[in-house]
Amino acid sequence: MSAQVPPSRAGSIPASNAPVRGAVDLAALAQAREQQRQAEERAAQLAANPEAAAAASLVFDATAENFQTEVIDRSFQVPVVIDLWATWCGPCKQLSPVLEKLVNDDAGTWVLAKVDVDAQQAIAQAFQVQSVPTVVAIIKGQPVPMFQGAMPEAQLRQVMDELIKVAAENGVSGTVGVPAPVEPAEPTEAELADDARFDAAFDAFEARDWDAAEKAYRDILETDPQEPDATAGLIRVQLMRRTDGVDAAAAIAAADAAPADIAAAKQAADIELLNGDARSAFGRMIAVVRATSGDERQAAREHLVSLFELVGNQDPDVAAARTQLANALF
């Protein structure tokens, strides 16, 4: 249940039928900032100064003045959940205590920003709030629409667990008060060439011996489970095995003709990625995620994430697709 924002209290909130999932202009809240670069710098400073980070409450009031530093910047370290509420809203009074309980239970893996829509109309306008409570998350400076209205704690627990998982997939897995891990620089091709562990994998890959290549990468991962290049190599081998000998044009046509066929969509996405069209591959799998549920949705999501890992998190298409995936999941 949610409460509509009455005209007498909405102030300059536009009377629109646009859904919360519509465009969100966060730039209006931080016009004078170089957003992402400075946000990343501030996130690094918070991570390097756990005492200062710990001093910040897990639950705080967000305003137009502190939105950049407390919400946008912090969202590069942990997910920031925004509870847009009003003093006159009954469902808000039901939801807020549950959110506050969960954020404390989760001990710093996310933070809760509370926004009084009457007092902070600029923020309410930015999120096109039509009813309260409205809950939105921010991950790496990007909005992730979540839900409107109150919900039981058990259901909300599932939603928050999903958010934490999505944030981690986007590289946001820090903890407030604990320095965020610094990802090591990826080794150069020359450095990889000097790593004899990869010789057998490279030789087998060049020979298109997918079984031998997969075994070589798995051998590396058996002794070093966190080796990122072995993980990426294994995904690449599995991709090549899945598409070896497949008629690319026929596979894509089959997937286009049967968009509900998950197996066809996965194969077509694999081929599109190999053809250098990552954007189409990602878009195809995101459409499947939106159209499915349960085990089928999970399978589509896992396949998409494996394609992200293959392309690399620094690729702009991956960054855009991760945001689209997060929106599709909520």
Bridge partners of 59, per DSSP, are: 112
Top pLDDT among 57 and 18 is at: 57
pLDDT at 186: 56
Q: What average pLDDT score do residues 97-120 get?
A: 91
Residue among 83, 91, 87 nearest 62 (CA): 83
**171 phi and psi angles, rounded to 5 deg:** 80, 15
Query: In 3D, which of 238, 268, 270, 232 has the Cα closest to residue 253?
Result: 268
Q: Is the dihedral of CA 36, 22, 325, 94 positive or negative?
A: positive
DSSP 101-132: HHHHHTTTSSEEEEEETTT-HHHHHHTT--EE
pTM value > 0.85: no
Per annotation, catalytic residue among 13, 53, 92, 220: 92
- The whole-number average pLDDT for the span 36-50 is 55
For residue 93, pLDDT over 60 is answered with: yes
Active site residue 278: no
Contact 270, 245 (CB under 8 A): no
Helices (H), the chain: 7-10, 35-48, 50-55, 90-105, 121-126, 153-169, 189-193, 199-206, 210-223, 228-243, 248-257, 262-274, 278-291, 294-311, 316-329
Q: Identify the top-confidence range among 8-22, 50-64, 241-255, 304-318.
A: 241-255
Q: What is the pLDDT of residue 26?
A: 45
Please give the pLDDT value at position 268: 94
Tell me: the pLDDT tens digits for 193-204? 456 778 888 888
Choose the catalytic residue: 43, 72, 86, 89: 89
Residue 17 has a pLDDT of 30
* Between residues 200 and 5, the one the model is more confident about: 200
Work out the pLDDT band at 52, boundaries 50, 70, 90: very low
Q: Assess whether 72 carries a catalytic annotation.
A: no
What is the 8-class DSSP label of residue 64? T
C-alpha 161/C-alpha 180 separation (Å) is 19
- Check residue 25 and give its pLDDT: 40
Total residue count of the chain as it appears in this document: 330
158: exposed, middle or buried (Cβ count in 10 Å: 0-12, 13-18, 19+): exposed
A 10 A CB-CB count for 208 gives: 11
**All domains of the chain in start order, with CATH:** 3-169 (3.40.30.10), 189-329 (1.25.40)
pLDDT of residue 102: 93
The answer to whether 62 and 113 have CB atoms below 8 angstroms apart is yes
256-284 per-position pLDDT tens digit: 999 889 999 999 999 998 888 889 999 99
State the Cα–Cα distance between residues 271 and 62, nearest whole angstrom: 45
